[in-house]
Structure 1
Amino acid sequence: MALNEVHISSLVVHVSPEHLTEIKTQIETFDCTEIYGDSPEGKIVVVLETENQGFVTDTIDAINNLPNVLSTVLVYHQIETDLDDTDIDTGTNHSQIEGEV
């Protein structure tokens, strides 16, 4: 039986400041991405909520390959497992934090 997982990750994307608005628009077209903030210096905080880790790495690569993106760094990744209806009702969710800065 496969585990039902949700991967919550946050990224810091550094872009050329003059392209900030353009890159934010492009990032918002990716599935499961949400922008939580940005700075005039060209840094964008992006949160991903996905079903598997492969999607996280694929999205990092895709964002990093956009024109005018200088770097994309994973700063947080949490895995919620066993999220079927009975676990949610009883509060028995399990978390694993892989990295936090």
Structure 2
Amino acid sequence: MALNEVHISSLVVHVLPEHLNVVKAQIEQFDNAEIYADSPEGKIVVVLETAHQGFITDTIDAINQLPNVLSTVLVYHQIETEQSLQESNLPKTTNSQVEGDV
């Protein structure tokens, strides 16, 4: 039985600074991509949420093919399954102490 997976990853896209806004608009057209930050130096932080790992590599390749993109680097990748997502929504029963409490 296959588990439903969600792949969450982040990328840093480096573009020619004078084309930052154009490239951002192009990246925003991808269904699975969200821009979280950018810098005047031409760096864009993109978060992807996809159904499988192949979409990540396909999206990286597509972004790399955009005009004025210098590089795209994967910096984070996490896989969540439907089961782990359901478990994370369960009430927590652990106790914690603040430093100094007894």
**TM-score, normalised relative to structure 1:** 0.83
* Number of aligned residues: 91
Report which of the two structures shows the higher radius of gyration computed on alpha carbons.
2
What RMSD, in angstroms, separates the aligned Cα atoms of the two structures? 1.8
Q: Which runs of 5+ in 2 are unaligned?
A: 92-102
Q: TM-score, length-normalised on structure 2?
A: 0.82
- Classify 1:23/1:3 alpha carbon distance in 2 versus 1 (closer, same or farther; 3 Å): same
Determine whether 1:40 maps to 2:40. Answer: yes
Distance 1:85 1:79 in 2: 10
Distance 1:12 1:66 in 2: 14
Higher strand content, 1 or 2:
1
Q: Shift of the alpha carbon at 1:75?
A: 0.1
Structure 1, unmatched stretches of 5+, are 92-101
**One-letter amino acid of the structure 2 residue matched with residue 15 of structure 1:** V
Partner of 2:52: 52
Report whether the alignment pairs 1:81 with 2:98: no
CA displacement at 1:90 relative to structure 2: 3.7
Alignment match, 2:66: 66
Identity %: 75
SS at match of 1:40: coil
